[in-house]
Amino acid sequence: MLIRAVLHRIATGLVTLVVVSVLIFLGTSVLPGDVASIILGQMATPESLAALRSTLGLDQPAYVRYFLWLGDLLSGDLGVSKAGAGAGTGGTSISEMIAPRLINTVQLAGAVALIAVPLSLGLGLAAATYPGTRLDRSITLSTLGLVSVPEFLVATALVLVIAVYLGWLPATAYVSGTETGMALLKTLALPTLTLVIVASSQIIRMTRASVLNVMSSPYIEMAVLKGLPRRRIVLHHALPNAVGPIVNVIALNLAYLISGVVIVETIFAYPGLAKLMVDAVQTRDLPLVQACAMIFCSAYILLVFIADLASILSNPRLRYPQ
């Protein structure tokens, strides 16, 4: 039963991935004007267009191109970018452009996850353990405010206060790749802080809500009537039942970080993958947009998959069938 549930989940994950790749491909490829004409721009002659089209394989029907693209993608070849491309040449390899950017983004996201997850679990559980107290009310109110404001407000306010008025940290986060130690930490500090605030507020709220939801079940009242202390009730009786929803919330919010990352990398001029993608969208560099979108969506689907797996594994009904 358990194995079947896991296998089923893996299968749907893979199907979703394929559907998403089709959507991304359709969104960018079935259009008037193809990559070749975008690459060659004004100076295109019918001959050079045709030549570039056949090098890029654009003269093939859409479904053939999709499978070629997918095959390249699976073998790690992300195609060529418009950047640096001229008549007859293929342009820069996307894999090479993406690699250093991806490392930067993973660095940032990793730092955020390491801080945000324990922090928000702690605060969420604290609020749920003592609902209605001043602690709970201040946590609920400030997180309600924070989830409903745009990420760039958090970022600009932090820059104004911490970088400009207090002068503690640099206002931009341009990394050249040579920084180490303290310098790197300082550069990363503000973007990380912004994302931690944005991601935590949602996780705190949902952790509190899921635990409180469980706390209204009859078996919790039973635990109270057995004379158990409140902390034990929350941690030992409520938490195991809230694991599924909480892991889901964490995964969804880490995935939701993706949009936060896009904004934050732009504000702080942080050379990550998201900034690369924003620039690619502005220059209409379709192959690069496709590649970046595929990476972000895969990460998102993977996170959601892990969360579902955790909630399947935390369910005793599936672990121990009747």
Partner 1 sequence: MPALLEIDNLVIEAAGGGASPAPVINGVSLQLDAGEVLALIGESGSGKTTLALSTLGYAKPGLEFRAGEVRLNGDDILAMPADEKRRLRGQRVSYLAQSAAAAFNPALRIGAQVTEASVLHGQLSQTEADRRATDLYRALGLPDPDHLGRRYPHQVSGGQLQRLMAAMALCGKPDLLVLDEPTTALDVTTQIEVLKAFKDVIRQEGAAALYVTHDLSIVAQIADRIVVLYAGEVEEYGTVDDILNRPQHRYTRQLIGAVRPPPDSTLRPESLEETRQDVPALEVKDLTAGYGRKHASGHTVKVLRDVHVAVGQGRSLGVIGESGCGKSTLARVISGLLPAMQGDVLLKGQPLKPSLRQRERRQLQKIQFVFQMADNALNPHQRVDQLLGRPLEFYFGLSGEEKRQRITELLHMVELPAEFSERYPEELSGGQKQRVNLARALAASPEILLCDEVISALDTIIGASIIQLLKRLREQTDVSFVFISHDLSAIASFADDIAVLYAGLVVEQGPANRVLAPPYHPYTRLLIASVPELSQGWLERTLEMRETQASIDRAVEITDRGCPFYRRCPLAIAGTCNQEAPPLRNLGHGHSITCHRSEAEL
Partner 2 sequence: MSTPVNNPTGESGQTGAISEEQPRRSLKFSGAGKTGIVVILFWITMVFIGPWVAPFHEAEFLDEALFIEPGLDDPYPATDFLPPGDVAYLGTDYLGRDTLSRLLYGARTTIGVSLLSTLLAYLIGITLGIAAAAGGRVLDSSLSRLNDAVLSMPTIMLGMVVISAYGSTLPVLIALTSLIYASSVFRIARAFGLDIMVSDFVDAARVRGEGLGWIIRREVLPGMILPMASDFGLRFVYIILFLSGLSFLGLGVQPPQSDWGSMVRENLAGLPYGAIAPLIPALAIASLTVAINLVVDDISAHHGGKLAEKII
CB 292 within 8 A of CB 273: yes
**Which one among 2, 20, 58, 135 touches partner 2, defined by CB under 8 A?**
20
Angle between helices 239-267 and 286-313 (to 10 degrees): 160
- Which partner in partner 1, partner 2, none is near 213 (CB below 5 to 8 A by kind)? partner 2
- For partner 1 (CB under 8 A), the number of binding residues is 22
- Which partner in partner 2, partner 1, none is near 313 (CB below 5 to 8 A by kind)? none
Nearest to 277 by CA among 108, 111, 89, 81: 81
- Which partner in partner 1, partner 2, none is near 10 (CB below 5 to 8 A by kind)? none
**Which one among 157, 185, 222, 235 touches partner 2, defined by CB under 8 A?**
157
Q: Within 199-238, which residues bind partner 1 (CB under 8 A)? A: 217-219, 221-229, 232, 236-237
Nearest to 56 by CA among 42, 75, 27, 77: 77
Distance of closest approach, residue 30 Cβ to partner 2, in angstroms: 9
Query: Is residue 314 close enough to count as binding partner 1 by CB under 8 A?
Result: yes
CB 260 within 8 A of CB 213: no
- Which partner in partner 1, partner 2, none is near 255 (CB below 5 to 8 A by kind)? partner 2
Amino acid in the structure at residue 49: L
Distance of closest approach, residue 214 Cβ to partner 1, in angstroms: 9
Q: Within 209-248, which residues bind partner 2 (CB under 8 A)? A: 209, 213
Query: Is residue 240 close enough to count as binding partner 1 by CB under 8 A?
Result: yes
CB closer to partner 2 out of 30 and 222: 30
Determine the Cα–Cα distance for residues 305 and 248; give it in Å rounded to an integer: 9
List the structure tokens of 76.
Answer: 């790690």
Query: Is residue 149 close enough to count as binding partner 2 by CB under 8 A?
Result: yes
Nearest to 248 by CA among 208, 212, 206, 196: 206
Query: Is residue 317 close enough to count as binding partner 1 by CB under 8 A?
Result: yes
Which residue bears the tokens 């050249």?
Answer: 176
- Main-chain dihedrals φ then ψ at residue 166, nearest 5 degrees: -90, -25
Distance of closest approach, residue 127 Cβ to partner 1, in angstroms: 18
CB closer to partner 2 out of 119 and 281: 281
CB closer to partner 2 out of 88 and 145: 145
Q: CB neighbours of 239 closer than 8 A, spacing ≥ 6?
A: 125, 211
Distance of closest approach, residue 97 Cβ to partner 2, in angstroms: 16
CB closer to partner 2 out of 258 and 313: 258
Determine the Cα–Cα distance for residues 266 and 272; give it in Å rounded to an integer: 9
CB 288 within 8 A of CB 243: no
CB 313 within 8 A of CB 243: no
CB closer to partner 2 out of 228 and 309: 309
Query: Is residue 105 close enough to count as binding partner 1 by CB under 8 A?
Result: no
Query: Can you tell me whether residue 6 is helix, strand or coil?
Result: helix
- Which partner in partner 1, partner 2, none is near 111 (CB below 5 to 8 A by kind)? none
List the structure tokens of 155.
Answer: 């970022």
Determine the Cα–Cα distance for residues 243 and 314; give it in Å rounded to an integer: 7
Distance of closest approach, residue 4 Cβ to partner 1, in angstroms: 17
Q: What residues make contact with partner 1 under the rule CB under 8 A?
A: 217-219, 221-229, 232, 236-237, 240-241, 314, 316-317, 320, 322
